[in-house]
Amino acid sequence: MTEKAVDTLTKAEAQEELARLADYLSRANTAYHAEDAPEISDADYDAAKQRNAAIEAQFPDLKRADSPSDQVGAAPAEGFSKITHVVRMMSLANAFDDEDITEFDDRVRSYLNLGPDAPLAFTAEPKIDGLSLSLRYEGGKLVSAATRGDGAVGENVTANALTIDDIPETLTDAPDVLEVRGEVYMSHEDFAALNARQTERGGKTFANPRNAAAGSLRQLDAEITRSRPLRFFAYAWGDLSAPLADTQYDAIQRLQSLGFQTNPLTRLCKSPAEMLDHYRRIEAQRATLGYDIDGVVYKVNDLALQQRLGSRSTTPRWALAHKFPAELAWTHLEAIDIQVGRTGALSPVARLTPVTVGGVVVSNATLHNEDYIAGRDSRGEDIRGGKDIRIGDWVQVYRAGDVIPKVADVDLTKRLDDAQPYEFPTECPECGSPAIREPGDSVRRCTGGVICPAQAVERLKHFVSRAAFDIDGLGAKQVETFYNDGWIKEPADIFTLRDRYGSGLQTLKNREGWGEKSATKLFEAIEDKRIIPLARLLFALGIRHVGESSSALIAAHYGTWDALEQGLVDAAEPGPAREDLTGIDGVGEVMATSLTAAFSNPAERASIDRLIAHLTVQDAQQIAVTDSPVAGKIVVFTGTLEKMTRAEAKAQAERLGAKVSGSVSAKTDLLVAGPGAGSKAKKAAELGIETLDEDGWIALIGA
């Protein structure tokens, strides 16, 4: 679609465009969160968010109540500046078969007029699945960092690059001008941890490590990039004032001695046979490298020959990317099992005849939800060409990064005549309670709550987990066994375990796998946790949507268990208590409803009350009272801050004793509004709340 420049939009066009973008971005978010494949690329997502913010900045009064800018992870208001690459950033020609490699060697020889026996060496190294970055050093100092963009012009991400540990800020003994090129990527481990954090915050999760790296680097707020663990491998260069070496291999060594990370699997190969050998060696290690690679890159070693070979329009003649075959495999779908999670979600899991996919044996794959099995996405549109999945089918499975295997396709020619469409259960397979789908929810959930054994066990596992009660000697396995034997049915039972099984006929120490010492240790570990911080307790309750960091915020807001309990009971109805709850930064309507529902459900309340009777709850740290004029005040930030990031402003305000809230209510004392402020500024004006711009705020706090 061709888009009009923002500053040429009429007001009516801007309004229409904001509505379109809100819809577009909300659909993109749904596609992400409904666990289907993302519908648009990260770059398109970011571009739409940036355009939305730019229009809002131009027409502040048109900002919508559901503006995408106000959602978690919202992109700030302006785009990146552009950098024209002095030396174009090239792409690579691809090859898929062994013969392509011999042909590449032949092609290079023929171009250079080298006979078949003349020596011709190549480097071979992994092709990292990330995004390329060009770092320009002048006088040994990093002066700019740019993404590839279209190869000619990239985005200026200098501030972001400086937050990456693998990227040196200064170099010693480097050429006066040196552009180092390489790949920004995220390790599997960091990717999984980032997605876990994002899920907990209700933020956007990423489909694979490459998207996560791209989304993290292309943040207008470098502080967000800093909080994302990105890495960088150097493998090439651009503009140079003096050559790095005579060969590709030595140039890479030189980059390494300058302080860059270079890939340890880089080898010098003297023939196509050696190149293929190294390709197989790398392929064999692929699953255990800890980061994604999608092939092997071969480069002519002699830099003078590289120079002679030159480039086609977008790819050099001296390099080739030998891609790995897609990680796909066909296998038999033996059964579909339904797992019931802590919050009652019914998750279908494919049980497969074990098959090797990209070096890893796969025997389970996620089937997401009933729509996915039926061949529909979250909007009711066809996926897999509308083919449904039936037990007994031949299915094609794939792995993307370290993400759980998924079913890519179904072979209808192998479907048995009597195969029946899968009927998704409408009753919980664990407790028989109705399993219902709420409007707009792609997940069917068991309504059994605490009476559902699967939910009860999962809740108990969560209750004893590291970030919750973290009881030494009582992990997921032990809790499950105790539950199955009827020793622990709910969290409160943990604290009566010693009374019931410390002595008498049936004792813990006499159980298989236990002894006097381990039993005593467990009882002591449980005693230790009778005193528990409020935030941990709230998180341990396992209320849907309430993660570790939200628990900390909510606990800090109410301070004591009594205040929290009363606050959540009162917040079930619209009114000041509800506004107080949703005014906590990071608590939206969905989380608020989940919290109040848990505290007003009689069975859940009774279970919580039984637990509390055994505990001493430590008050959350109340926000420090200082003599700053903002101490004790409720402050809301809106619009774009130009001198500091939102996170910085928030932390600073909290240090001075203010409470920072995400929405304006009658309780708000002060609104700090930057450019682009919309509905919040309007509401504050209506309520007569004092409003300052960023400079006013800085003056007030004396920063």
- Which residues of this chain interact with ligand IVH, rule CB under 6 A? 90-92, 125, 127-128, 132, 148, 183, 235-236, 297, 316, 319, 321
Amino acid at 434: P
Give the pair of three-digit tokens for residue 50: 């940036």
606 φ, ψ to 5°? -60, -40
* Contact (Cβ atoms closer than 8 angstroms) between residue 445 and residue 433: no
Q: How many other CB atoms are found less than 10 A from the CB of residue 166?
A: 16
Alpha carbons 398 and 383: distance in angstroms, whole number: 15
User: How many Cβ atoms are within 10 Å of 120's Cβ, its own excluded?
Assistant: 20
Strands 94-95 and 319-323: parallel
For 580, residues 6+ apart whose C-beta sits below 8 A from its C-beta are 557, 567, 571, 665, 667
Euclidean distance between CA atoms 231 and 189, whole angstroms: 12
Shortest Å, Cβ 289 to ligand IVH = 13
Cα-to-chain-centroid distance, residue 528: 34
Q: How far is the CB of 225 from ligand IVH (least distance, A)?
A: 18
Cβ-Cβ contacts under 8 Å for 397 (sequence gap 6 or more): 328, 329, 330, 331, 350, 352, 355, 357, 362, 365, 405, 406, 407, 408
Asked if residues 503 and 520 have their Cβ atoms less than 8 Å apart, the reply is no
Nearer to ligand IVH, 321 or 569 (CB): 321
Q: Which is nearer to ligand IVH, 316 or 401 (CB)?
A: 316
Rounded to 5 degrees, what are φ and ψ at 294?
A: -125, 15
The residue among 207 and 319 lying less far from ligand IVH, judged by its C-beta, is 319
Q: Residue 516 gets which letter from DSSP?
A: H
Structure tokens at 575: 């009114």
Strand partners, 471: none
- Which residue is catalytic, options 127, 406, 529, 650? 127
Record the tokens describing residue 410, joined without a space.
Answer: 């179904």
d(CA 476, CA 457): 9
Q: Which is nearer to ligand IVH, 147 or 652 (CB)?
A: 147
CB of 251 to ligand IVH, least distance (A): 12
DSSP code of 345? B
CB of 459 to ligand IVH, least distance (A): 44
Task: State the first-to-last Cα distance of the chain, in angstroms, to the nearest integer.
Answer: 45
Nearest distance from residue 608's CB to ligand IVH, in Å? Answer: 52
- How big is the chain by its Cα radius of gyration, in Å? 29
Instruction: Please report how close the Cβ of residue 94 comes to ligand IVH at its closest, in angstroms.
Output: 7
* Comparison of 300 and 556: residue with beta carbon closer to ligand IVH: 300
Q: How far is the CB of 210 from ligand IVH (least distance, A)?
A: 10
- Looking at the Cβ atoms of 151 and 453, the one nearer to ligand IVH is 151
Shortest approach of ligand IVH to residue 254 CB, angstroms? 16
Catalytic residue check, 204: no
269 in Cβ contact with 124 (< 8 Å) = yes
The least CB distance from residue 684 to ligand IVH, in Å, is 46
| C-beta separation of 545 from 553 below 8 A | no
The residue nearest ligand IVH at its CB is: 132
Rounded Cα distance, 395 and 407, in Å = 6
- Nearest Cα to 219, choosing from 184, 267, 250? 184
Q: Which contiguous run of DSSP H or E holds residue 323?
A: strand 319-323
Q: Cite the active site residues.
A: 127
